[in-house]
Every structure is written in C-alpha cells, then in structure tokens.
Structure 1
C-alpha cells in the first residue's frame, strides 16, 4: 500500500515537514510506501516553487478540492492555527488520516470539535495525530523511558522553559504570530504548548491546575510588508500586538508534584532554548535543546564521591530512533524529529493503532493553555484544568 500525502501550507513548518516525508522512507524501513503527492497554498506561483524545491509531485491552491480527491490518503496541516479546525475536521470526515501542527487549535472549543471528529473517524479506522515533534528527539524519548523505568524514582518537581529572543527588537514587524485572530495566543500557545506537552509526555502525568501571568512587553509594532515571512521587512504604520510576549506559570501535576514553566520571546541571547529538568527521589534528568544529542543524569544512589550530573550522549544504536542513522557520536539535528514523526505515524496507520499524541492529548494541552490565560486574567488565581471528555479519548 502507498500512503499519498497532501500537505496544506508551505511556510517554515512546511519545509520541516517536507524533510520528514522525504527522509523517513529513505532511512527507515517503513511498513507502507509514502508518496509526497501535493502541497497546497494560496499563492499559485509560490506554492509551485515550494513543490519543486521540496519534492512534492504537484501543487494546488484549493485545499477543499485536494481533500475531496480519491487519490489522497493523509492530510498534513502546517497552516496558522486559525484554519486547523476547519481543515482537520473536513479531512477526517472525508476519511483522510490527519497530522496537524501544534498547538491543536486557537481555542478550546475548536480543539474539542477536532477531538470529537477524530474520535468519530477512529471508529472507521482513520487516525489523527498532533505534531509535537520534540517528543521525538531521541534524548527526550529516552528521558521519558528512564522516568517510566523508575530510574529517578518518584517525580518530585519539574522545571520547563522555552526561551527565544526574536521579538527583543521593538521594530520587528507585526507577523501573523503576533495577532490573536491568526495565532490564538503568543508565546504561551506557540512555545508554551511545547513545554506543557513535553512535561506530560516525559512524566506520564497531566497538568491538573495552574497559576500564572502573561505580559505583552511591546504593544505596538510596525506593520509587515506584504509577502514578508516571519521576520520579514516592515511596511508603513503600526499595528497592535494582541497576544502575549511572555508567559510564566506554575502547574500542579496529577501525581502531586509542582512544575514551573516559562515561555518567552524576550530572553535576550536565547535563540531556541527549550529545556526540561525532572527531579525525583532517586535522581534527576535534564534535557536542553541547545545540546539536543545529550541527556544529563544525576544518580542520587551513587557513592558521594561519584555524585554529580553526568552527560549521556544519545547517539548509540540502542537509543530511540538512532539505529537508522549514523555511527555512534555522529550527531543528529532539529530536522530529524520530523522524520521520526513520519515513522511513528506511518507505523501506527499500518498497525491499526492510535499514533501519539492524539487529538485528545492535544486537547488536554489546549485546556491547560486556556487555564493559564484565565489565571492571568484573574490576578493569577489557581485554575483547574478541565478533563478531556470521554468521547475525545477514544
């Protein structure tokens, strides 16, 4: 069987997903063949150039027509969040498997509708997955596995942060990510979603309650010139920034431990610094995306003279995903997570299982994000995170 893929959207995430679809079949023994059938975008000339550059067989400008085609089996959604729900629900109802970039949607209501559509589709053997790709960095998967094996004992505290600095310059133009109607939220939804998902993934627990604060540091920015990208040139005039620049919050995990979270685009000098540290009764584990091939491990049970964080180089063939790539010590990069995402999705489709994270898991993150916003709007009061509806959990 061949899975014929249509990708909706062709920006930064489109290039990353294209690498995954192109590389995974070349490096892994996938249970199904994959065909990069069509990429869809509103600008006919631009999307045609993207198709040629990234290896898609053809391009199109109407996603509805593409979804209706009988020769499309899977729809990969890499558009801004304001269109996720409409495209994903239509694709699922048309019987197409769906991969949707994070965060799942721009609101809890949209995420609930998507999770419900995924639950209905699952009854017909159609699967849906959210693109929280950092789960598939080998060191992060290994961190999850070690916690599950009891390596650090009972989880007592989590510290997670995602720090960037691309908005430090107040003259950075007003991109779509800074407009609530397109992005849903700012640093909270864009990168805070990653640390929420990663915390739940590695601990196997949910974030059940939050207290936090949001802030918009630069409230007006130059309007973006037509056709500019994420960091494109400025146009004429200024517009209002309608999302947050920084989110700082605390969460209570279902196992009882506290977790601290920071998501910011104003961390001067930090380009893409995602980190998580989990402390337990028997030790601790730490991951930093700026050193993504390594995991730091502290063993409290070791003799006192040997205690201290040790670096595990996660490049051995016994480590998650690594055996398909290079000899030990030959490092992987950011793009490899997108290949691993394809591997897991295609394998689940072939085996008739649900790929993770499911839309129900994406909904749980969306509800936690909404709870942080509610807390910030109410003097940082503690807010319970709503539990996913049973229909959404398939």
Structure 2
C-alpha cells in the first residue's frame, strides 16, 4: 500500500481500453466512478484508450478521462502501465485482442457476446484457462447481472423462495431499425457483428435466464427474420444509382428479430424474444420467472423495482407486491444513496468494475467467466441452427 497524506492508497490497477463508442463511454463511466463509490483493494487507473481514428480516440481520451491514447491496440498491450485490458470493440475483433492480451500477461474484460462464433469463444476460453494458471483472470461483460434488482432476484430464487421453477420468459425489444433508411452500420453486417438482434440482445436474455434460474439451457427451437434486407451505405450517394434516390444500398446480413423457446436442465420451459423492430420500444427488457411457490417479474424501465408474488399466502390477500430495491442491504446499494433514491443504467458498469477488481485482488474467478460466455455462444449457435432448419415449414391448413 502507498502512503499519501497519512492515507493508505491501494496499489494501482492500470486499465487499457480498446474501443471508444457506446460501450467505451459506458465502461469509462464505470472505471471513472468505481473507486469513488466503493472501497477497493486496488485503485483502477484509466491509463490508455485505443482506437484506429487518431483524432477521435484523442477526443475520447479527453472526454472520458483517459491519460493517454493509442491508435494500435497492440501498442496498448505493450505498455507496462496496463494491467487489465477492457475490450469494447465489434465482435469480430474480440478473440484476437483477448487472446493476445492474455498471452501478454494482462487481465481481460470483454464485452458480450464473447465472440462471433463458438470456435472463437472456445479459443478464448483455452487462453483464459492457461492465463488463470499464471494468476490472470478473464470476465465477460453481461452488465445486466449487476442491476441490483436482478442480483436480488437471483438470491431469492437461489434461496428457494419460488420453489421448483416452471417457466422463464424474457423479451428484449428495441425499435432503432424500424426506419428502412437507417444506415448500414457494422451491427448489420455479419462479418463484424456475428449476428443481429440475436447476438446483440439475445445474448443478454439467454445469460439472464440461465443466471436467474441457476441452470443451463439444454435445448432450443427458433425462428429468425430479417425484415429489411438492404439499407443505405454509410459512404453516401453513388453516381448512377437513381432507384434509391441516388444512395447506394448494401445487404443486411444479420437478423432483425429472433423468437425461440427453450428447456432448462430441470425441465422448466423458457421463452425468448429479441427484436430491434418493435416500434415504440427503446430498450424494453422484461422478464418473469414462475415457480411452484411464487413468481418474480422485472422491467428494465423500472430498474429499481422487483415484483414478487408469494404463492404460499392465503388467496384472500395474496398478490404481486413491489419491492423497491434501494435498501443498503440490497446488492451493491451500500455504496450509494439513502433508501428510495434510485440508480440508473450506468451504475451496472460501476458494479461490474467493482466485482472484477475484487476478483483480481483476491485471486478468485470472476463471474461471468469466459466459460459462461462460451455457454451463451453455444446457445446462440443452436438458435441459429434451429431457425435455419425451421425456415422451411408446412402451412397449417385453414
């Protein structure tokens, strides 16, 4: 421990982040805030951020509080002041960066989904297992596990408050692709994103279903659809193409929506819906878990609340009741505000950073691990395989 003004300062944990867009901003908020909210055994230091565009990455470094900027992630790995590499890039780069970082002796946090394929995810797990023997840790960033209400729900289910589980149903609805003239970004190209709504949103809800239930999915049956198969290219107008107003359009190679059912290892049934084509829904993540003794329900738009039904109470006064998850003995809430003063989306990244720092300091395995990310990747692959087989079907006679 370092002594500073009669204060004991924890050892520094230098963080290097690759990527500076949406997730880069969210992760930066987490690293910037976590040491102020929680008493940590290590002191996260935002050492360097990397991105290909020199002007943009320097601007991001200044805006988000990073001490330095690099235009090559390999240069970031070579720095002695980087102990942890945080990967916030498109999925097609996750495996290469994560494996190189682990081989360079760094701890790793990688955004979800872990990779764009099962094979890539398996290679990442092998690298993480080898690094673990050297004392390094690797974690995948499923931030919704760190919503206090959902962490509390997991504890209630694990304690048996719902009894044997019967159903898990999860929907994740967004509408940012409803406009057919929304441009063809990397998220709509399979070679970069791996899949569409399935990997972007479906990865979250598969992980949450397994996390809350405390068991794995063992089978799925799926349908997927791409409703808009061409969109305007980001490089703008192209001479000689007048049919689309002079704007060149390119193919969308991922799904817009995925709907699937599943079975958990215990026999409980699960239903999933992930779409970026639900008009009016901005970030609508909802779930419900039903068991023999009760039910739990959650809505991300009311993320400080959990609905709980105790089926053991007399019917004369039984019903869903609201649990306001803001008490100091609720998960993560000891660091924040007085009861009733709610948290927001950004706090999940602060909690994620806290859990990872504590795992590094204690030498314990962080959760969710790369192996957990691989399990989700296998479910996503099974969903795609099922949807492909189910794409040819016989109409039901009228």
Match of residue 365, structure 1, among 370, 376, 388 = 376
Residue 223 of structure 2 aligns to a residue whose secondary structure is strand
Equivalent residue, structure 2, for 1:302: 313
**CA–CA distance in 1 between the matches of 2:391 and 2:56?**
44
Match of 1:293 among 301, 304, 308: 304
Q: Residue 120 of structure 1 corresponds to which residue in structure 2?
A: 130
Q: What's the RMSD between the two structures over aligned residues?
A: 1.2
User: Aligned pair count?
Assistant: 374
**1:183-230 deviation digits (Å, cap 9, x = unpaired):** 00000001000000001111100011110011001111111247xxxx
Distance in 2 between the 1:221 and 1:376 partners? 23
Other structure's SS at 1:320 match? coil
Task: Tell me how far 1:305 sits from its aligned partner.
Answer: 1.8
1:239 has 2:222 as partner: no
Equivalent position of 2:104 in the other structure: 94
Aligned to 2:17: 7
Superposed displacement of residue 117, structure 1: 0.4
For 1:128 and 1:251, locate their aligned partners in 2 and report how far apart those are by CA, in whole Å: 28
Residue from 287, 295, 318 that aligns with 2:329: 318
In 1, distance between residues paired with 2:390 and 2:31? 45
Correspondence list, 1:176-191, <5 A: 176-191=186-201
Matched position secondary structure for 1:156: strand
Structure 1 residue 71, shift from structure 2 partner: 2.0
Match of 2:154 in 1: 144
Counting only pairs closer than 5 Å after superposition, residues 268-279 of structure 1 correspond to structure 2 as: 268-279=279-290
| Cα distance change on mapping 1:362 and 1:199 into 2, 3 Å | same
The reply to whether residue 33 of structure 1 matches residue 43 of structure 2 is yes
1:107 aligned residue: 117
Question: Structure 2 matches for 1:201-220, cutoff 5 A?
Answer: 201-220=211-230
Contact 1:212/1:380 (8 A) holds in 2: no
Q: 1:70 aligns with which of 65, 80, 92?
A: 80
Determine the structure 1 residue equivalent to 2:203.
193
Bigger Rg over Cα: 2
Q: Whole-Å Cα distance in 1 between the matches of residues 246 and 326 of structure 2?
A: 46
The 2-side partners of 1:90 and 1:147 are apart by 38
* TM-score using structure 1 length: 0.93
- Counterparts in 2 of 1:225 and 1:313: CA distance versus 1, 3 Å: farther
Match of 2:341 among 325, 330, 334: 330
- What secondary structure, in the 3-state scheme, does the structure 2 residue paired with 1:238 have? strand
Q: Per-residue CA shift, 1:331-371, capped at 9, x if unaligned?
A: 10000000000000000000000100000000000000000
Q: Which residue of 2 aligns with 1:253?
A: 264
Cα deviation code 1:98-136 (max 9, x no counterpart): 000000000000000001100110011100000000000
Aligned to 1:339: 350
What is the SS of the residue equivalent to 1:295?
strand
Find the aligned partners of 2:179 and 2:246 in 1 and give their Cα distance.
16
**d(CA) in 2 for partners of 1:291, 1:72:** 37
* Equivalent residue for 2:364, pick from 353, 357, 364: 353
Query: Residues 17-56 of structure 1: CA distance to partner in whole angstroms, max 9, x if unpaired?
Result: 0000001001100111111000000011110010001000
Contact 1:225 1:236 in 2 (8 A): no
Secondary structure (helix, strand or coil) at the match of 1:378 reads: helix
Instruction: Identify which of 111, 135, 155 aligns with 2:165.
Output: 155
Quote the offset at 1:380 in angstroms.
6.6
Does the 8 Å CA contact 1:19/1:335 hold for their aligned counterparts? yes
**Whole-Å Cα distance in 1 between the matches of residues 181 and 51 of structure 2?**
28
Which consecutive residues of structure 1, in runs of 5 or more, have no partner in the other structure? 227-233, 382-394
Which of 169, 182, 187 aligns to 2:179? It is 169
Unaligned runs of 5+ in 2: 1-10, 237-244, 393-398
Moved over 6 A (4+): none
Cα deviation, residue 236, structure 1: 3.0
- The separation in 1 between residues aligned to 2:36 and 2:247, in whole angstroms, is 46
Q: Are the equivalent residues in 2 in contact too, given 1:165–1:269 (CA < 8 A)?
A: yes
